[in-house]
Every structure is written in structure tokens, then in C-alpha cells.
Amino acid sequence: MRKRVFSTLTAVALTAGLAFANTQQASAISEVKCGPGTGYLKITVVVFGAPADPIETCFALAGERALPKGLYLKRISSGNNVVMHHGNGSWKPYVPKFTIRYYESEHIDKIRIL
């Protein structure tokens, strides 16, 4: 009888542990090819001190991504995403879905899709 109760309790504990372990969200943000009508997050940045044209990069899936140093944000097109960006030591207010925002020269070192 004791062995049966112990086995049942062990099974319940393992099941509960697996349920909690699987509820954590994976940070799967990934860079994707930009294209019209994709719904991806698109950022336009310039490299500090470089005379090159702005660089456009697209991202998909929820998560957070560190970006190379020396980037300045010019534009965010959120697509079908709620987005935040980090620069100068703090997270900036979120950008709602299907919103385009322009920036003068906002430092950016991380991007997050919520």
C-alpha cells in the first residue's frame, strides 16, 4: 500500500514539475528576410560615424536580441508585433502592432518582440 501511494505521489510531482517547466517562454527571436506584407518587425538603423546608407533588418518571433554597438535607430515598423527597444541604459515605451515610428538619432543596442 505504501509503495503504491509513494508511486502515485511521485508521478503527480513529476507531472506537475513538467507542466511548470514547459510554461516558460523561449526567446526565439530570429532575423528573417524582409518583404512586403510579411508582418515582420522591421528596423532601420545607421552605423555611427559611417557614411553608408541606412540598414534595414527584419525579425520574427517573440524574444529579445542584442544588437551590435554603434547603431542608431531611424525607423521601426512593428508589423504584427508589439515591440520595445533598448538604448542609453533603458527600455523605451512599447510600439503597438502595425505602427511605424521615426527617430532622429536614437541609440539602440537591443530589440524585443513581446
Residue 54 domain-assigned (yes or no): yes
Residue 81 domain-assigned (yes or no): yes
Quick one: DSSP state of residue 1? -
CATH code, domain carrying 54: 2.60.20.30
Residue 15 domain-assigned (yes or no): no
User: In whole angstroms, how far apart are CA 61 and each of 10, 79, 94?
Assistant: 36, 12, 16
Rounded CA separation 52/30 (Å)? 24
Count: domains in the chain: 1
Residue 83 domain-assigned (yes or no): yes
Burial zone of 62 (CB within 10 Å; 0-12 exposed, 13-18 middle, 19+ buried): middle
Residue 74 domain-assigned (yes or no): yes
Cα 42 from chain centroid (whole Å): 12
Domain that holds residue 84: 27-113
Q: What is the pLDDT of residues 16-67, one digit of tens each?
A: 333 333 334 457 899 999 988 889 999 999 998 887 789 999 999 999 999 9
Q: What pTM value is reported for the model? A: 0.73
Residue 1 domain-assigned (yes or no): no
